[in-house]
A and B are shown apart, each in its own frame.
Chain A
Amino acid sequence: MPSALHFRTIADLAAALDAKQLTSVELTQAVIARTQAVEPRIHAFNSFDASDALAQAAASDARRAAGQARGALDGIPIGLKDVIAVTGQPLTASSKMLQNFVSPYDATVTTKLKQAGAVLWGRLNCDEFAMGSSTENSAFGPTGNPWDTTRVPGGSSGGSSAALAAGEAIATLGSDTGGSIRQPAALCGVVGLKPSYGLVSRYGLIAFASSLDQIGPFARTVEDAAIVLGAIAGHDERDSTSFKTEIPDYRAALTTHRGPWKLGIPKEYFADGLDPEIAASVEQAIAFYKAQGCEIREVSLPHTAYCLDTYYVIATAEASSNLGRYDGIRYGHRSTAAKDAVDLYAQSRAEGFGPEVKRRIILGTYVLSSGYYDAYYLRAQKVRTLIRQDFLHAFRDVDALLTPTSPVPAFKLGEKADPLSLYLCDIYTIGVNLAGLPAISVPCGFTKSGLPIGAQLIGQPFQESNLLAIAHAYEQAHEWSGKYPAL
């Protein structure tokens, strides 16, 4: 266990807080000091409010002193991706469009974290409106990967993964539309969980593609991810796609759900384009489960080749619709160069949005436009049905699927300049969003050059307990989660 407070786990820190060996103010001060020390090299945060965090920490210490501590998250500094609303705090989506926006309300996950006593800490950088796989699309500059600051942390939740890996938070939240939690978790060597669609409320999450978006945790261990998930999951009448289901004790499930499990290996996920070092690490993870008595089965997801195209039709169509609200009228950037009211929309949007957002709005508008709707959007929704059926068919025989999270380790800032090559970073993660499944990325090794590698476990709908237990079994037998970057 590391001695530095900023690298310890929620589980460990909660025990120290309960035992009165530590106060939340001390812990929060340590995280603030660490952030101030490394932030010039990482740039994980768009902004942070140290005095606000310390006030929350003092309130937590007062609760604990009065015997009213609220559980494992009480007093733990948790960072939020800058697409999740917190009353009175900036909410920018890393866009010039919302550069001066201050949220007038809390997201449901924010309310839940406050109820759990967490110290909400900072606004984490991301690709603009969560569109990207490297965090280079932020209007406020890129984030560096703590393992090699000349490389990207992944994206779109790259601030969330980098802050955690660098010790600038104890856990963080991100959002995942096509891999935006799992891919940056893999590239930064931390755990990242995308819950089943509908498990966590999207109320107060800036919408990108509403049928795909889910909020989820980044954590140092699977146990910590289970703790945060337990706090943020649950039905919310403010999100009409929120699913009514009992929220189990995910942390307890790590020990009560025991293998051996049946694991499926989708053959399409080990094809051309997969980095050989990543393939080797994931093969070792497969061998580990096999040695534990798990049944390993090759499965096929025959429509995998169509996931990327299906995703880019559906996600851009939904984005073009969702981003229609940024018109310069009620909030957000308003152009001063407009000739008239209609031109005000076009000029405000041109000045407020960055290139990738514009590209996706154009593509989404095109696939929804008259004469093309059936050929693109409707067809993509039908192929989506086939993609989901592939997964559900595979789950008749297996408990979970094991795959690489990303085909490549962290790449150099600026290395992937054309959109299509960057889109290919998501080939192992987007099928999960299209099918609405839960999936987790867990660290499973390092390349020879010292870059983290992640393995993805994909679970059955709303079977997060099982998924977390399977990931925990691997993690407990390996020491990847105990390694920290030298900064």
Chain B
Amino acid sequence: MNFDIVEIAEFSGDKAKIYSIILEGDDDTLLNQFFDENQQYEEELEEIAARLLTMGNYTGCRIQFFKEHEGAPGDGIVALWYKRMRLYCLRFDNTCIFIGSGGYKPTDISAYQENPLLNVKAQQMRAIAASINKAIIEKDLKVLEDGTLEKSDFLNLEI
């Protein structure tokens, strides 16, 4: 399945560019889907949105704001979290982040793998991260100094 990268203008700013993913055949980005699927957790969503706004415009996507090691070793998958809410992302550096999806982590589990829904979201992000990382290594996708993306004509993102 192919996918595309979409800049989230509402969050992007001078300090960081915030992107999300849109899968082939979908109308919405994974970020929009995340907000739609978890709308009952208003407080958590508000906090996550306020932090994305701050990262885009004031602080950049510093590693301290995320939970690390949420994917395979070295693949750059992190989770933005507040209370039990998890939003999986691929963090390139302080200036660039690709947001996937996530969900509410039930209180009775300690690892996301124990929750089928959260596991699906995390695994999906791992596949997306692998594809983006490959494109960056093969220079089909370039992240510029300010976080903007430059793509080659050969770029083909798929999971």
Bound pair (A, B): no
